[in-house]
Amino acid sequence: MQSIRPPARPLATPVAPMIDPFGRHVSYLRVSVTDRCDFRCVYCMSEHMTFLPKKDLLSLEELDRLCSAFVAKGVKKLRITGGEPLVRKNILWLFKALSRHLETGALQELTLTTNGSQLPKYAADLKALGVERINISLDTLQPDRFKAITRWGDFAQVLAGLEAAEKAGLKVKLNAVALKGVNEDEIEALVRFAHGRGADITFIETMPLGDIDGDRTSQYLPLSVVRARLMETLTLDEIAYRTGGPARYVQVKETGGRIGFITPMTHNFCESCNRVRLTCTGTLYMCLGQDDAADLRAPLRASLDDAPLSAAIDEAIGRKPKGHDFIIDRRTKRPSVQRHMSVTGG
Ligand code: SAM
Ligand code: SF4
């Protein structure tokens, strides 16, 4: 494990919980710790992405302080994501620092979403630092197809990452983006693969976030279609199971495993939204599908006292919108939100 310094600051005194104007309790923070990635998935990025200058990034100490301010305000679940979170230098320091909130009980879950490529290196350390469950993104089981989707990824490396996670005792959930004409013939195979390993799997519809090289309208596959096809061969029972995220789950009678469906395009899941998203530059997005944002870097840097930061967070939560209105414009083929998922954090 890399050298891990003690956390920079103690946890701030608990303050009032974050309730938005629609009465929703914000208890889940997703943090994109870098917009960089070792893959170039076709639905996520263009091959030649321009990334943020490194000097604009918050330091790990600043990210810790920001996350800790949210924990003090009632965040119970923290998901580290990106870009690829495990390519950020010395990332274990942040996990170590944040794990103190697990020890105090202030935080219930510290987790991450990863493409899996760095898990052979990090899985055991993550488990030792209190991470229990992780999401690994996997859209196909075919090495050639994997290369075509991720452009730079290597299927064998991700499989080794998945095995390392299992060996370390991490509970894995697989995430797969349903892509028309790309992996739609593999949906059942992905379900059987996940369930055969004791993992749940969640399918996601492509969302129109940021410019990519191709045409998004040709990638979009409604999960209603995916679900109907699965029902031709499998028995899907509706269940109340939730993980605090936006997925709705069914249980498969034949395998005993669960399938989650995240349907931002076909079904508006905003009414129960408990999340906000922080970027690696300290910008807070109150909704994945809206442009409104709050700058938390300025109040963070303006004072060593957390009071201005806490006030800025309250002001931002007071602006959390009722919901998103994603559209993929067939006429202009333009995304409805210009920033990429890797910036806001998936
Ligand atoms: N690099 C990590 C990974 O791939 O798991 C974490 C970040 S990635 C942005 C998080 C998730 O967002 C992945 O499961 C990815 O498939 C998904 N994703 C990326 N762009 C998307 C888009 N435009 N629509 C839907 N899902 C997307
Ligand atoms: Fe990287 Fe994840 Fe985006 Fe793929 S989906 S390019 S792995 S950030």
Q: Tell me the CATH number at 144.
A: 3.20.20.70
Q: What is the pLDDT of residue 339?
A: 66
- Across the range 152-181, mean pLDDT stands at 97
User: What's the confidence (pLDDT) of residue 276?
Assistant: 95
- 299 falls within a domain: yes
**Count of C-beta atoms within a 10 Å radius of residue 148:** 13
- The closest ligand to the CA of 152 turns out to be 2
The answer as to whether 9 is a domain residue is no
Residue 298: pLDDT above 70?
yes
145 falls within a domain: yes
- Ligand 2 nearest-atom number relative to CA 38: 1
Would you give the distance in Å from CA 239 to the centre of its chain?
23
The domain of 173 spans 28-344
- Ligand 1 close to Cβ of residue 209 (< 6 A): yes
**pLDDT digits over 92-119, tens only?**
999 999 999 999 999 999 999 999 999 9
User: Ligand 1 pocket test: which of 34, 35, 44 has the largest number of ligand atoms within 8 Å of its C-beta?
Assistant: 44
Count up the domains in the chain and report the number.
1
Please report whether residue 12 resides in a domain.
no
Closest ligand 2 atom to the C-alpha of 342?
Answer: 8
Over residues 161-183, the mean pLDDT reads 97
Ligand 1 pocket, residue 43 CB under 6 Å: yes
| Cα 28 to ligand 1 centroid, rounded to whole Å | 18
Q: Mean pLDDT across the chain, nearest whole number?
A: 89
Query: For residue 212, is it within any domain?
Result: yes
Note whether residue 1 is domain-resident.
Answer: no
Q: 34 with 125: CB under 8 angstroms?
A: no
Q: Give a yes or no: residue 263 inside a domain.
A: yes
Cα distance between residue 212 and residue 193, in whole Å: 29
pTM over 0.85: yes
Task: Give a yes or no: residue 66 inside a domain.
Answer: yes
Quick check: 245 pLDDT over 80? no
